[in-house]
Structure 1
């Protein structure tokens, strides 16, 4: 089975508002083995990147000025992913941008789903771990995938981490071992977490500056965390 673990970075959150893909990373997995074959491109979006988005991925307009446009690489991209199962975390976000770019490029493929199947690891994680955080960072902690180098988001780095997480999530033995881990591990089971929550722990309230910074970044982190709406519901 051929799978492509895929991630994108963008100028903002909504292609309907004119936002574009500025980085795309694809990593090939065949029969549950990472082959080393990959496709990675930085892309000129022909528009300014939102300042908040730069804070997330660190990619600037100056860096992208001499990079190709999506239309320049679309044929190579479609050839690389054709017939594969795309493995994406929070797939609607990336698919929305990819389909928007395909339309703008006149690629002759109305939707990427016409040539690929899609597996959304956020949906899978929510089924496997209901009621817990299932962002990529949270899953890396749960499955003991080293994400210490992830200071900023990046399409290739995030695809590499997602590949490790996905293989651990679907590998059976890894999940079993982590479910039996001790109370000091991030993979503790829900009942263990419930028992620990009964202990008297100090509550440190955030200050006004921290609350303001959190509110500003919640929407920008929605792509990777898939949990932004939950934060907003809690705060309402």
Structure 2
């Protein structure tokens, strides 16, 4: 079974777009004969995130983790208990492409690290910021970016290294480092790039939003 794990902390505004995109990827995977389960991990949500997930008929797990690393860890643990052989991770403010899951599996690797891109920049975000971001990002095969919004890992490799660590940030980077150290077969690909938000008020400190905020400070 393929499990899609999505952590969310007060993401009611963006979660619907995320789940709509995931549904399209799930449909293609199921047409190809795969069983897919989607889990939204509701981490200290006090908004309508749970209601959004219910509208899509998505399984949820309410936790009081207070960190994206722990939320991913708890979500992955539940999916492994339910028989997942592949964990596909994305974020609540992101939209995966329809071929996302099939493309991950087609890599025939233990770990698949994908790229992200920003489709909708905020009107107030200057052209200089966009240029600076694109100049430093390698949207190509063999890149070395790690994003929790676009990450896939087989259950055996994940369990071998102890899974996501309960970190407030960079839990995705730590997992990939642990997998590299274990000798896992890793593919770094741009073939199924995930669209993500350009917001700088990120839910996870030191994450992608803070990275954009730092770039923004350089062009002001």
Do both share a fold (TM > 0.5)? no
Q: Which has the higher contact order (CA 8 A, sep 6+)?
A: 2
Which has a greater percent of strand? 2
Q: Which TM-score applies when normalising by structure 1?
A: 0.26
Which has a greater percent of helix? 1
Q: Which TM-score applies when normalising by structure 2?
A: 0.28
